[in-house]
Structure 1
Amino acid sequence: MLRVVVLGAAAGGGVPQWNCGCPACRTARTERPELRSTQASIAVSTDGEHWLLVNASPDLRQQAIATPQLHPRAGQLRHSPIAGVILTNGEIDAVAGLLSMREGSPFTIYAHARVLAILGSNSIFNVLSEKNVKRQPIEVDQAFEPALPDGSPSGIEILPFEVPGKGAWYLEGKAHPAGGNAAGDTLGLRIADKASGKYFFFLAACARLTDDLKSRLAGAPLIFFDGTVWRDDELIVAGLGNKTGQGMGHIAMSGDHGAIESLAGLDIARKVFLHINNSNPALLAGSNERKTAEHAGWQIPADGTEITL
């Protein structure tokens, strides 16, 4: 059995963002607290006792408190069910939560060498002692099985694959610590239970859907997919920023080449949007955008949503 908990569904800054008075943030802050969402991450387990995180959002401490599955075992002074963290990119909303895991519990960070180079170039991540926190490089299209802290196999097989996207925005115009090209900066994951064969896909960032990517996702029982913006120029039109979705490395939900249209007809059983920006009107229940997404078979999850395969 493969269990997945949505720790957070929002894009960078969460909902509401600390300094934003847009309709979604204003509504979440005052009238409808159920709209509040932390930054995107999920937890995965096959036994309900050991969990792997996919990305470590800046809200990780809050997410761990809100998620009973991640609480320390009763009667133990120091314990965490978190066995490892798989990073799909080097953005702040994927790595900053690692700094909340510095209190001495052992776990492993799994990431592409380009992302590990970013961590290695910033001394603040040295608070994660190598004695307790291993950094394990992963490679595109090479499956691996994360280990539990005692070295035993987790029973979960993860296949990383390259996804069209962009490197971390804070490195724009600067030399990447790993040098070279951007291959490996943005990854998707196929996550499977080795015992049952059940699997799902996780893509928190994706700039476009290529034919190869569509073929990979076709027939999947479950996908978590980039839902950052509803339309490409959303932030500009709303007066919230000067970048398009494409400029940030994210595909729009709507439009001729958006996620909803591009993934239609691929026989995907369950489709869940993740990494949803506060500017996205599909956040608001009852909006035309939410109705369109749900009519197309997409779910916008609340923090704490659990899915079992």
Structure 2
Amino acid sequence: MRLLVLGAAAGGGYPQWNCLCETCRLFWERDERVRASSQSSVAVTADGEHWLLLNASPDLRQQIMHVDAMRPSQTTMAREGAKRSSPIASVLITNGDVDHTAGLLTLREKQNFELHATGGVHDIIAANPVFHVLDPNHVTKRKVGVGEPFKPVPGLTAELFSVPGKVPLYLETETVDVGEESEMTVGVKLTAHGKTLFYIPGCAHIPDSLKARIAEADALLFDGTIFVDEEMKNAGVGEKTGRRMGHMPISGEGGSLNAFDGAKIKQRVYIHINNTNPIWIDGSEEKKTVEAAGWQVAYDGMDLSL
């Protein structure tokens, strides 16, 4: 099983286009300790030809252009018998957030693929008429139930499971149930060739059931949105805490940094990293802290083979 990180950043990317927080300022000043990152998405394959896209980032076109494995190829063209071809055979959406669905509009160009999501997420997509550009003659929509294994591409088995989260920002009302476990925010278990990988880009907290589920994973890509809970306020760019946004902090009480201590997880990677998060900075105390605890920080182009 091979996984490519197409985008490691949270919504808005790094740097955010209109932000002068301390972390973004380093990029605008061309500081060599930081590198740009597009918005969160990964691609996985079990055979090297058919790829599953996990979340469709608004930056998807740019990501395809920058990653050779995602480009049209003679192999896929011959297989599909058409001038238009793509290694992307399936797309799986983990929630209805803009940074995970907007990239579907990039895939409207008469390309055959399957679109997998829970019924609730499919309902969100169907309710927005702009997504009607996805031609049903080419895009097969498949509703996937939580806990039901399926094969999105040859050789790869996927299973969705609920994680604590919330509805997308644009669907929030005056009362928001943050931390609910439902089909609106899911993690993904991927299995191929005897290896198991978990992808959880958004998680409000870690219940014991989640710890047990991933205790012996070969790899875990986990929500690294913010380093401290009040990061947005401290940076002067927002008032919401990380937990209010549906993302637990890395550090502090109840943080994710040491939440999996004792688990036999072979590789631990933080992904979906907000522009304010100082783990973007090579040599920062925050990045040193996560690395000392056995975590890696995802970056665009990161290549994991299991």
Q: TM-score, normalised by structure 1?
A: 0.92
Q: Secondary structure at the match of 2:226?
A: coil
Return the letter of the residue paired with 1:101.
Answer: L
CA contact (8 A) 1:56 1:93 kept: yes
Residues 163 and 181, structure 2, Cα contact 8 Å, conserved in 1: no
Alignment of 1:246-285 (within 5 A): 246-285=243-282
The match for 1:238 is 235
SS in 2 for 1:192: strand
Q: Aligned with 1:260: secondary structure?
A: coil
Q: Which amino acid aligns with 2:276?
A: S
Residues in 1 aligned to 2:140 and 2:99: alpha-carbon distance in whole angstroms: 21
Q: Contact conserved, 1:29 with 1:36, CA < 8 A, in 2?
A: no
Amino acid at match of 1:257: G
Q: Conserved in 2, the CA contact under 8 Å of 1:165 and 1:207? A: yes
Aligned partner letter, 1:171:
L
* Matches of 1:26 and 1:253, distance apart in 2: 22
Per the alignment, residue 36 of structure 1 pairs with 36
Greater than 4 Å deviation, 4+ residue runs: none
Kindly, what percent of the aligned residue pairs are identical?
44
Is residue 2:67 matched to residue 1:61? Answer: no
Determine if contact 2:164/2:182 at 8 Å carries over to the other structure.
no
Do 2:22 and 2:235's aligned partners in 1 also have CA atoms closer than 8 Å? no
- Structure 2, unmatched stretches of 5+, are 78-82
Q: What is the count of residue pairs matched by the alignment?
A: 296
- Pairwise CA distance, 1:113: 0.5
Q: Which structure has more strand as a fraction of its residues?
A: 2
Aligned position for 1:107: 113
Do the aligned partners of 2:96 and 2:184 also contact (CA within 8 Å) in 1?
A: yes
Residue 227 of structure 1 corresponds to 224
Q: Shift in Å at residue 220 of structure 1?
A: 1.1
User: Are 1:143 and 2:140 counterparts?
Assistant: no
Aligned match of 1:151: none
Question: Deviation of residue 256 (structure 1)?
Answer: 2.1
Gaps of 5+ in 1: 148-153
Structure 2 SS opposite 1:158: strand
Aligned to 2:165: 165
| Distance change >3 Å, CA 32–CA 66, structure 1 → 2 | farther
In the TM superposition, residue 182 of structure 1 has moved relative to its aligned partner by 6.7
Secondary structure of 1:110's aligned partner:
strand
Letter of the 1:114 counterpart = G
Alignment match, 1:13 = 12
